[in-house]
Structure 1
Amino acid sequence: DFSRRHLFFNSTNIKMQAWLVVACAAVLAALASAQKPGRFLSLPNPQKCANRPKEFFYRGHHYFFSGHVPALANRKVDWLDGRNICREYCMDLVSMETQEENNLIFKLIQQNDVPYIWTSGRLCDFKGCENRKDLEPKNILGWFWSANR
Protein backbone atom coordinates (compact mmCIF):
# COMPACT_ATOMS: atom_id res chain seq x y z
CA ASP A 1 0.00 0.00 0.00
CA PHE A 2 2.86 2.40 0.79
CA SER A 3 4.47 1.76 -2.59
CA ARG A 4 1.18 2.53 -4.37
CA ARG A 5 0.81 5.84 -2.56
CA HIS A 6 4.40 6.62 -3.27
CA LEU A 7 3.93 5.95 -7.00
CA PHE A 8 0.71 7.96 -7.00
CA PHE A 9 2.51 10.85 -5.33
CA ASN A 10 5.25 10.76 -7.98
CA SER A 11 2.68 10.60 -10.75
CA THR A 12 0.80 13.58 -9.29
CA ASN A 13 4.06 15.48 -8.85
CA ILE A 14 4.99 14.91 -12.50
CA LYS A 15 1.51 15.96 -13.63
CA MET A 16 1.73 19.08 -11.45
CA GLN A 17 5.15 19.99 -12.87
CA ALA A 18 3.91 19.48 -16.43
CA TRP A 19 0.86 21.66 -15.72
CA LEU A 20 3.09 24.40 -14.27
CA VAL A 21 5.37 24.31 -17.33
CA VAL A 22 2.36 24.61 -19.65
CA ALA A 23 0.85 27.42 -17.56
CA CYS A 24 4.14 29.33 -17.43
CA ALA A 25 4.62 28.95 -21.18
CA ALA A 26 1.09 30.25 -21.81
CA VAL A 27 1.64 33.25 -19.52
CA LEU A 28 4.99 34.08 -21.14
CA ALA A 29 3.49 33.79 -24.63
CA ALA A 30 0.64 36.12 -23.65
CA LEU A 31 3.07 38.66 -22.18
CA ALA A 32 5.35 38.53 -25.21
CA SER A 33 2.51 39.13 -27.65
CA ALA A 34 1.04 41.96 -25.53
CA GLN A 35 4.27 43.99 -25.31
CA LYS A 36 5.05 46.58 -27.95
CA PRO A 37 8.29 46.13 -29.85
CA GLY A 38 11.21 47.99 -28.32
CA ARG A 39 13.37 50.69 -29.85
CA PHE A 40 16.76 49.69 -31.08
CA LEU A 41 19.97 51.26 -32.33
CA SER A 42 19.90 52.02 -36.04
CA LEU A 43 22.26 50.35 -38.44
CA PRO A 44 24.53 52.50 -40.61
CA ASN A 45 22.98 53.61 -43.90
CA PRO A 46 25.58 53.14 -46.68
CA GLN A 47 24.25 56.06 -48.75
CA LYS A 48 24.21 58.43 -45.74
CA CYS A 49 27.66 57.21 -44.68
CA ALA A 50 29.11 57.93 -48.12
CA ASN A 51 27.58 61.43 -48.14
CA ARG A 52 27.77 62.31 -44.47
CA PRO A 53 28.22 65.95 -43.54
CA LYS A 54 31.80 66.73 -42.51
CA GLU A 55 31.69 70.18 -41.02
CA PHE A 56 35.13 70.16 -39.45
CA PHE A 57 37.98 67.79 -38.68
CA TYR A 58 39.62 67.53 -35.27
CA ARG A 59 42.28 65.04 -34.18
CA GLY A 60 41.42 62.37 -36.70
CA HIS A 61 37.64 62.68 -36.45
CA HIS A 62 35.00 64.40 -38.56
CA TYR A 63 32.31 66.38 -36.76
CA PHE A 64 29.03 67.85 -37.83
CA PHE A 65 26.45 69.89 -35.96
CA SER A 66 22.92 68.70 -36.74
CA GLY A 67 21.65 72.29 -36.51
CA HIS A 68 23.56 73.05 -39.71
CA VAL A 69 21.85 70.24 -41.66
CA PRO A 70 18.50 71.58 -42.96
CA ALA A 71 16.66 68.26 -42.58
CA LEU A 72 17.77 68.02 -38.93
CA ALA A 73 17.98 71.69 -37.92
CA ASN A 74 14.75 72.06 -35.95
CA ARG A 75 14.20 68.49 -34.83
CA LYS A 76 13.91 67.81 -31.13
CA VAL A 77 14.85 64.25 -30.35
CA ASP A 78 15.56 62.09 -27.35
CA TRP A 79 18.95 60.49 -26.72
CA LEU A 80 18.24 57.29 -28.64
CA ASP A 81 16.91 59.15 -31.69
CA GLY A 82 19.93 61.46 -31.61
CA ARG A 83 22.30 58.54 -31.44
CA ASN A 84 20.44 56.76 -34.23
CA ILE A 85 20.71 59.82 -36.49
CA CYS A 86 24.46 59.80 -35.93
CA ARG A 87 24.74 56.03 -36.44
CA GLU A 88 22.93 56.25 -39.78
CA TYR A 89 25.79 58.53 -40.91
CA CYS A 90 28.43 56.10 -39.51
CA MET A 91 29.10 58.56 -36.69
CA ASP A 92 28.19 58.80 -33.01
CA LEU A 93 27.18 61.41 -30.48
CA VAL A 94 30.01 63.66 -29.36
CA SER A 95 32.23 62.42 -26.58
CA MET A 96 34.35 65.17 -25.08
CA GLU A 97 37.59 63.57 -23.97
CA THR A 98 39.93 66.52 -23.55
CA GLN A 99 39.70 70.09 -22.36
CA GLU A 100 40.52 71.29 -25.88
CA GLU A 101 37.70 69.24 -27.40
CA ASN A 102 35.34 70.41 -24.66
CA ASN A 103 36.22 74.04 -25.47
CA LEU A 104 35.68 73.42 -29.18
CA ILE A 105 32.19 71.98 -28.61
CA PHE A 106 31.34 74.66 -26.04
CA LYS A 107 32.28 77.37 -28.55
CA LEU A 108 30.06 75.74 -31.18
CA ILE A 109 27.17 75.66 -28.68
CA GLN A 110 27.62 79.35 -27.83
CA GLN A 111 28.02 80.52 -31.43
CA ASN A 112 24.88 78.69 -32.55
CA ASP A 113 22.78 79.46 -29.45
CA VAL A 114 22.07 75.75 -28.98
CA PRO A 115 19.41 75.21 -26.29
CA TYR A 116 20.40 71.59 -25.56
CA ILE A 117 22.68 68.81 -26.75
CA TRP A 118 22.96 65.07 -26.42
CA THR A 119 26.38 63.61 -25.76
CA SER A 120 27.67 60.06 -25.90
CA GLY A 121 27.18 59.95 -22.16
CA ARG A 122 30.85 59.98 -21.22
CA LEU A 123 31.39 61.44 -17.78
CA CYS A 124 33.06 64.83 -17.94
CA ASP A 125 35.92 64.01 -15.57
CA PHE A 126 38.77 66.07 -16.96
CA LYS A 127 40.09 69.44 -15.79
CA GLY A 128 37.65 72.24 -16.56
CA CYS A 129 34.39 70.41 -15.80
CA GLU A 130 34.27 71.09 -12.09
CA ASN A 131 32.86 74.66 -12.28
CA ARG A 132 30.64 74.30 -15.36
CA LYS A 133 27.00 74.82 -14.31
CA ASP A 134 25.88 73.83 -17.83
CA LEU A 135 27.29 70.33 -17.26
CA GLU A 136 25.41 69.70 -14.01
CA PRO A 137 24.39 67.32 -12.72
CA LYS A 138 27.61 65.91 -14.04
CA ASN A 139 27.59 62.55 -12.32
CA ILE A 140 24.42 60.52 -12.72
CA LEU A 141 25.51 57.00 -13.59
CA GLY A 142 28.06 58.45 -15.99
CA TRP A 143 25.52 60.49 -17.98
CA PHE A 144 25.09 64.21 -18.25
CA TRP A 145 22.76 66.56 -20.02
CA SER A 146 24.08 69.90 -21.11
CA ALA A 147 22.29 73.21 -21.59
CA ASN A 148 23.34 76.82 -21.91
CA ARG A 149 19.97 78.24 -20.82
Structure 2
Amino acid sequence: MRCPACNAVDSRVVDSRIAEEGTATRRRRRCSSCDHRFTTYERVDHAPLTVLKSTGTTEAFDRSKVVSGLSAATKGRGVDADDLEAMATRVEDSLRMAGDEVSSAAIGLAVLDELRVVDDVSYLRFASVYKHFDAAADFHRELELMEKMAPAGGASG
Protein backbone atom coordinates (compact mmCIF):
# COMPACT_ATOMS: atom_id res chain seq x y z
CA MET A 1 0.00 0.00 0.00
CA ARG A 2 1.43 3.36 -1.03
CA CYS A 3 1.99 5.89 1.78
CA PRO A 4 -0.12 9.03 1.34
CA ALA A 5 2.59 11.17 3.03
CA CYS A 6 5.80 10.19 1.24
CA ASN A 7 4.52 7.95 -1.59
CA ALA A 8 6.72 5.03 -0.53
CA VAL A 9 5.34 1.63 -1.52
CA ASP A 10 6.26 -0.26 1.64
CA SER A 11 3.94 -0.13 4.65
CA ARG A 12 3.00 -2.67 7.26
CA VAL A 13 -0.29 -3.42 8.98
CA VAL A 14 -0.32 -2.37 12.64
CA ASP A 15 -3.93 -3.29 13.45
CA SER A 16 -6.91 -4.90 11.64
CA ARG A 17 -10.57 -4.78 12.65
CA ILE A 18 -13.92 -5.60 11.14
CA ALA A 19 -15.71 -2.39 10.10
CA GLU A 20 -18.96 -1.20 8.53
CA GLU A 21 -21.10 -3.96 10.04
CA GLY A 22 -18.83 -6.71 8.75
CA THR A 23 -18.69 -5.55 5.13
CA ALA A 24 -15.14 -4.18 5.33
CA THR A 25 -11.83 -4.63 7.12
CA ARG A 26 -10.27 -1.52 8.64
CA ARG A 27 -6.47 -1.62 8.65
CA ARG A 28 -4.12 0.78 10.46
CA ARG A 29 -0.82 0.94 8.58
CA ARG A 30 2.60 2.43 9.22
CA CYS A 31 4.93 3.53 6.46
CA SER A 32 8.32 1.83 6.65
CA SER A 33 10.04 4.92 5.24
CA CYS A 34 8.56 7.90 7.13
CA ASP A 35 6.62 6.22 10.01
CA HIS A 36 3.41 7.97 8.92
CA ARG A 37 0.30 6.12 10.14
CA PHE A 38 -2.80 5.87 7.96
CA THR A 39 -6.00 3.86 7.67
CA THR A 40 -7.24 1.77 4.76
CA TYR A 41 -10.49 -0.14 4.24
CA GLU A 42 -10.67 -3.45 2.39
CA ARG A 43 -13.94 -4.59 0.78
CA VAL A 44 -14.92 -7.44 -1.51
CA ASP A 45 -15.26 -6.26 -5.08
CA HIS A 46 -18.16 -8.19 -6.62
CA ALA A 47 -18.25 -9.04 -10.29
CA PRO A 48 -21.11 -7.27 -12.06
CA LEU A 49 -24.37 -9.19 -11.97
CA THR A 50 -26.27 -9.30 -15.27
CA VAL A 51 -30.02 -9.86 -15.59
CA LEU A 52 -31.39 -11.79 -18.54
CA LYS A 53 -34.86 -10.37 -19.21
CA SER A 54 -37.75 -12.43 -20.58
CA THR A 55 -37.46 -10.42 -23.82
CA GLY A 56 -33.94 -11.78 -24.34
CA THR A 57 -32.20 -8.50 -23.52
CA THR A 58 -29.73 -8.10 -20.69
CA GLU A 59 -29.14 -5.29 -18.21
CA ALA A 60 -27.08 -4.70 -15.11
CA PHE A 61 -28.63 -5.88 -11.85
CA ASP A 62 -30.21 -2.94 -10.02
CA ARG A 63 -30.61 -3.62 -6.30
CA SER A 64 -32.84 -0.57 -5.92
CA LYS A 65 -35.47 -2.30 -8.09
CA VAL A 66 -35.55 -5.20 -5.62
CA VAL A 67 -35.91 -2.79 -2.69
CA SER A 68 -38.64 -0.90 -4.56
CA GLY A 69 -40.60 -4.09 -5.25
CA LEU A 70 -40.24 -5.23 -1.64
CA SER A 71 -41.31 -1.80 -0.43
CA ALA A 72 -44.43 -1.76 -2.59
CA ALA A 73 -45.40 -5.26 -1.49
CA THR A 74 -44.91 -4.53 2.22
CA LYS A 75 -46.42 -1.02 2.27
CA GLY A 76 -48.47 -0.59 5.45
CA ARG A 77 -47.50 -4.03 6.74
CA GLY A 78 -45.05 -2.97 9.49
CA VAL A 79 -41.85 -3.91 7.66
CA ASP A 80 -39.19 -1.24 8.24
CA ALA A 81 -36.47 0.00 5.89
CA ASP A 82 -33.74 -2.00 7.64
CA ASP A 83 -35.73 -5.21 7.09
CA LEU A 84 -36.20 -4.33 3.42
CA GLU A 85 -32.46 -3.74 3.03
CA ALA A 86 -31.67 -7.05 4.74
CA MET A 87 -34.14 -8.87 2.49
CA ALA A 88 -32.66 -7.24 -0.63
CA THR A 89 -29.17 -8.24 0.52
CA ARG A 90 -30.27 -11.86 0.96
CA VAL A 91 -31.88 -11.81 -2.50
CA GLU A 92 -28.73 -10.36 -4.09
CA ASP A 93 -26.45 -12.78 -2.23
CA SER A 94 -28.52 -15.79 -3.34
CA LEU A 95 -28.45 -14.55 -6.94
CA ARG A 96 -24.67 -14.06 -6.87
CA MET A 97 -24.30 -17.66 -5.71
CA ALA A 98 -26.06 -18.71 -8.94
CA GLY A 99 -23.48 -16.98 -11.15
CA ASP A 100 -22.79 -13.73 -12.98
CA GLU A 101 -25.97 -13.88 -15.08
CA VAL A 102 -29.44 -14.51 -13.64
CA SER A 103 -32.90 -14.42 -15.17
CA SER A 104 -35.48 -11.86 -14.14
CA ALA A 105 -37.67 -14.86 -13.23
CA ALA A 106 -35.04 -16.02 -10.71
CA ILE A 107 -35.07 -12.56 -9.13
CA GLY A 108 -38.86 -12.64 -8.79
CA LEU A 109 -38.78 -16.09 -7.22
CA ALA A 110 -36.06 -15.02 -4.77
CA VAL A 111 -38.17 -12.02 -3.73
CA LEU A 112 -41.21 -14.26 -3.29
CA ASP A 113 -39.15 -16.60 -1.09
CA GLU A 114 -38.21 -13.66 1.15
CA LEU A 115 -41.77 -12.34 1.35
CA ARG A 116 -43.21 -15.79 2.09
CA VAL A 117 -41.27 -15.81 5.37
CA VAL A 118 -42.09 -12.22 6.33
CA ASP A 119 -45.78 -11.68 5.62
CA ASP A 120 -48.53 -13.55 3.76
CA VAL A 121 -50.28 -10.37 2.56
CA SER A 122 -47.04 -8.91 1.20
CA TYR A 123 -46.31 -12.21 -0.51
CA LEU A 124 -49.73 -12.21 -2.20
CA ARG A 125 -49.36 -8.58 -3.28
CA PHE A 126 -46.03 -9.30 -4.96
CA ALA A 127 -47.25 -12.61 -6.42
CA SER A 128 -50.31 -10.92 -7.93
CA VAL A 129 -48.09 -8.58 -9.94
CA TYR A 130 -45.23 -11.00 -10.61
CA LYS A 131 -47.51 -13.86 -11.70
CA HIS A 132 -49.96 -11.56 -13.54
CA PHE A 133 -53.12 -12.41 -11.57
CA ASP A 134 -56.24 -11.37 -13.47
CA ALA A 135 -59.01 -13.08 -11.50
CA ALA A 136 -59.97 -13.92 -7.93
CA ALA A 137 -59.34 -17.59 -8.74
CA ASP A 138 -55.64 -16.75 -9.14
CA PHE A 139 -55.55 -15.52 -5.53
CA HIS A 140 -57.40 -18.62 -4.37
CA ARG A 141 -54.97 -20.92 -6.19
CA GLU A 142 -51.98 -19.08 -4.70
CA LEU A 143 -53.47 -19.30 -1.19
CA GLU A 144 -53.87 -23.05 -1.60
CA LEU A 145 -50.26 -23.29 -2.77
CA MET A 146 -49.12 -21.24 0.25
CA GLU A 147 -50.98 -23.53 2.63
CA LYS A 148 -49.28 -26.59 1.13
CA MET A 149 -45.82 -24.98 1.39
CA ALA A 150 -46.23 -23.38 4.83
CA PRO A 151 -44.45 -25.03 7.76
CA ALA A 152 -46.40 -25.48 11.01
CA GLY A 153 -46.80 -22.04 12.62
CA GLY A 154 -45.97 -20.28 9.32
CA ALA A 155 -45.82 -16.60 8.38
CA SER A 156 -48.17 -13.95 9.69
CA GLY A 157 -51.07 -12.55 7.75
Q: Write 1 or 2 for the structure with the bigger share of strand.
A: 2
Task: State the TM-score, normalized to the length of structure 1.
Answer: 0.23
